[in-house]
Each structure stands twice: as C-alpha cells, then as structure tokens.
Amino acid sequence: MTTSSTERTAATKRKLFEATLDLIGTRGLGTVTVDEIATRAGVAKGTVYYNFGSKDALIEALLRYGVALLADRLRHGAGDAEHAIESIVDAMLGFIEEFPSFAQLLVGELWRTPGQWHATLALLRADVVSIIKDQVQHSVRLGRIPDSVDPATASAALFGTVLVIALDWRVFQPDRTRAEVRDGIMVLISGLRGALA
C-alpha cells in the first residue's frame, strides 16, 4: 500500500513539530534555529521552508496544530455531564502531561505583549474557552455553580488557572500524580463555589 502525498506531508509536518517542541523544551523558542529543527527532525533544511516558508510560519502552524489537539481532547473530555468541569480539568492536565513543551510555548506566547502570534492565538484561545464555557453553563444549569457566576469569566479563569498550575506541576512538582493535581484544582474550585453560593 502506498502512502499518499498528503499523508507524507502531514507526517513530515508532525516530525517538524515534534523536533521544534523538543528544542523549545530544552532551550526556549528564541534561540532555536531552522537548521537545528531540520537536523533534529532528520530532514533537509529546505524541507522546513518548503512546508512552512519560515520559522515563524512553522511556529504559527505548530500553535494551530497543538491548540486543535487540545480542543479535541476537551470536546471528548466534556462528555461526562455529571462531572463536566472535573473532566475538562483532567483533559487539560492530560494534554499538558503529554505535551509539556507545547504548554510552555502556549503560555509564553498567549500572555506575551505584544505577541507576534496574538491574532492567531486570540482565535485559538476563543475556541478552547468556548468549549469550557459550554461546560460551565451546563454546571450552572445543574446548580453545581451559582448562577451569579459569569460563564465567560469563569471559563477564561479556569483555562488560565489550569495552564499555570499544570506547568508548575511539570516543572516544580513532577512527583505528584495527575490525579493529585486534578483533585487539588477541584478543591480550589469547590472552595470558590462555596464562597460564591
């Protein structure tokens, strides 16, 4: 069975994304070069330019790819209506556990002002936050969250909180389990819920 050109291109892009994340995870974005990305991916430097045109375009495509993966995880994680918020938190933590370098990149670029990819990230963030907002609204309807809570603010707060706590976990407390971190976040949310009720 032969591999189509589209499949080969997608595989090459994934390889370049993985190489970029490996390098970013150890050195940060600013010092990583196209030559290093190509070498780490095991491809010619021209392959990077052929697929993306520039390092900046590669990073933008990587951000789109990674946030789409995160959004997909959240959509699937949101299926448990009884524990919607906990499922969202767990899905985010699982994603960050699997892709810690992407989470570093995302946090670094989301709140950098002015960010080079601000317009792209604003759209991507809106997609993820809307998934969380749907679950917050569902929890309000079920009475698990007071109806005085603004779903837009709560969903943005939850997104940012989980991102920062997850990075803290991976960098400073890697011995903790995902379940421990999730349960800690849920205790925090429950405490706030009680204070707001």
What confidence score (pLDDT) does residue 192 get? 56
For residue range 82-132, list pLDDT tens digits in order: 688 899 999 999 999 999 999 988 988 888 777 788 888 898 899 999 999
Number of domains in the chain: 2
Same domain, 157 and 91: yes
Same domain, 45 and 65: no
What type of residue sits at position 164? V
> Do residues 32 and 20 lie in contact, with contact meaning Cβ atoms separated by under 8 Å?
yes
What confidence score (pLDDT) does residue 130 get? 95
Residue 155 pLDDT exceeds 80:
yes
Same domain, 44 and 71: no
What confidence score (pLDDT) does residue 195 get? 46
Same domain, 69 and 97: yes
DSSP letters of 81-144? STTHHHHHHHHHHHHHHH-HHHHHHHHHHHT-TT-TTHHHHHHHHHHHHHHHHHHHHHHHHTTS
Rounded to the nearest integer, the mean pLDDT of the chain is: 88
Nearest to 124 by CA among 72, 64, 78, 57: 64
The answer to whether the predicted template modeling score (pTM) of the entire model surpasses 0.75 is yes
Same domain, 49 and 66: no
CATH code where residue 77 lies: 1.10.357.10
What confidence score (pLDDT) does residue 80 get? 62
Same domain, 73 and 46: no
Cα–Cα distance, 72 to 70 (Å, whole number):
5
Cα–Cα distance, 172 to 161 (Å, whole number):
16
- Both tokens of residue 25? 């995870």
Greater confidence, 189 or 55?
A: 55
The residue from 36, 53, 70 where one domain ends is 53
Same domain, 88 and 128: yes
Greater confidence, 6 or 176?
A: 176
Same domain, 29 and 97: no
For residue range 29-42, list pLDDT tens digits in order: 888 999 999 999 99
The residue from 17, 37, 53 where one domain ends is 53
The confidence band for 79, taking pLDDT boundaries of 50, 70 and 90, is low
Same domain, 89 and 126: yes
- For 57-67, what is the mean pLDDT? 94
Same domain, 160 and 104: yes
> Do residues 139 and 145 lie in contact, with contact meaning Cβ atoms separated by under 8 Å?
yes
Same domain, 21 and 86: no
Q: For 181, which DSSP code?
A: H
Same domain, 88 and 179: yes
For residue 156, what are the domain limits? 61-196
